[in-house]
Structure 1
């Protein structure tokens, strides 16, 4: 696991290694249409260490925190917790929210 994925796992309390990309989290998400990638794609980006790309994305600011992702996930991964960790990291590093495309 790369350093970025390890930090996000620790901050969020979520075990990213348990995600096998089934897509159930994305299928139930009411906000996914406004994300840059589907929910399971965000996990994959974290696993690949795409820190800058994620911190500058719209996706981390569009999650409403309803936790439907976690209730649908067969491995109990709550992407809303990952999004909270990513938002906090972005704010700590001075990365401003991406402007919405109008």
Structure 2
């Protein structure tokens, strides 16, 4: 009688982070829709909120576990969109 192969056990997931990482960027307001399209192409990497639609300031939230992937994405997207990285206001008060 042949034995069934067992599926490998999934690796344990890291504990969920207590806080998300945040970064602020400024792009041309006309590029916001294109930026959303590119960000959605990379599943679950980050979420963004438009902080100032007239100046094109976006707040991005991402998991600390995906910081490397986030930085690689932002470096790659610089070829398509002119991005200015802004200081995080929450870090300025401390």
For normalisation by structure 2, the TM-score amounts to 0.36
For normalisation by structure 1, the TM-score amounts to 0.34
Larger Rg: 2
Structure ranking higher in helix proportion: 1
